[in-house]
């Protein structure tokens, strides 16, 4: 670890060592939940091998330093009993740029929870007035990734909490997001109680939808095909098949134009 430094205003990013007591949490952190067990595991690793990646802060020794990225490492280092922490000082960033930096770091590490990711992306859209495409470019992800996560904000608060607690996964959330709130909650609780897989939840949601037409005596494998196609394209799929006429329809559901554009992208369609 480099020798401790006491800079007053560092405008050029460089790694220094800071007294851990001078660092405070920032107000732009994307993460809202810190799992105690995971922090203990990281603390044990830090006690053994030290902090590999520096945290990112702004400020100076007189007023203290504010975390822009790396709060989880800072918390774990405190648990590990460290007194100093490697840090990069970024006094060159605006408040908006600090929000982007913190979110990008967490997304690149894939260390945020599902709902924290959704809320963080929403803050980027709202603060900068960005489209899904623009947000995707800023964070280095696909437009489909951004759209799918932003849809999760349509979930009822009790369902969001189940996802934040880890009782439901992202795949479950995608299925529930397009349903009315009452159905979301009922299906979410059923999924948790019965430990339904994503595919089982999709079948349960489909069973509770009113059928568009009388079901044939045999589905000729269409139910299974619906499930597989739905998983492939990332949207609910319904096949209406007339076996006696050997024809039918393929319907793919979407909830807004951004989701529709993402669907076309996954299907390989590129407008001229």
- CA–CA distance, 189 with 162 (Å, rounded to integer): 9
Q: Of residues 62, 71, 105, 208, which has the active-site annotation? A: 71
**Residue 171: beta bridge partners?**
none
DSSP E strands in the chain: the ranges are 15-19, 23-24, 55-60, 64-69, 84-89, 237-242, 247-252
How many CA atoms does the CB half-sphere of 155 hold within 13 Å? 30
- CA–CA distance, 90 with 45 (Å, rounded to integer): 26
- CA–CA distance, 86 with 89 (Å, rounded to integer): 10
What is the edge-to-edge ordering of all strands in the sheet holding 84-89? 15-19, 84-89, 55-60, 64-69, 23-24
Decide if 208 is catalytic.
no
User: CA nearest 118: which of 143, 146, 98, 97?
Assistant: 146
Mind telling me the catalytic residues? Answer: 71
């Amino acid at each position: 670890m480099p020798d401790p430094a006491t800079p007053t205003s560092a405008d050029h990013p460089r790694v220094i060592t800071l007294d851990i007591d001078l660092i405070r949490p920032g107000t732009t952190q994307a993460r809202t939940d810190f799992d105690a067990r995971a922090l203990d595991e990281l603390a044990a690793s830090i006690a053994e091998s030290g902090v590999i990646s520096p945290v990112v802060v702004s400020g100076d020794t007189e007023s203290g330093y504010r975390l822009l990225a790396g709060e989880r490492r800072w918390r774990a280092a405190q648990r590990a009993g460290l007194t100093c922490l490697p840090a990069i000082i970024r006094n060159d960033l605006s408040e908006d740029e600090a929000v982007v930096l913190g979110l990008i770091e967490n997304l690149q590490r894939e260390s945020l929870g599902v709902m924290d990711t959704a809320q963080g992306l929403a803050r980027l859209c709202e603060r900068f007035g960005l489209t899904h495409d623009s947000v995707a470019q800023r964070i280095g992800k696909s437009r489909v990734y951004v759209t799918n996560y932003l849809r999760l904000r349509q979930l009822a608060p009790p369902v969001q909490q189940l996802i934040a607690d880890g009782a439901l996964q992202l795949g479950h959330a995608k299925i529930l997001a397009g349903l009315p709130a009452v159905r979301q909650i009922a299906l979410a609780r059923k999924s948790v109680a019965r430990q339904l897989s994503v595919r089982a939840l999709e079948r349960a949601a489909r069973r509770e939808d009113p059928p568009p037409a009388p079901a044939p005596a045999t589905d000729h494998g269409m139910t299974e095909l619906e499930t597989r196609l739905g998983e492939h394209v990332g949207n609910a799929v319904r096949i209406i098949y007339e076996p006696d006429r050997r024809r039918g329809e393929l319907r793919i559901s979407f909830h807004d134009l951004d989701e529709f554009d993402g669907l076309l992208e996954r299907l390989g369609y590129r407008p001229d």
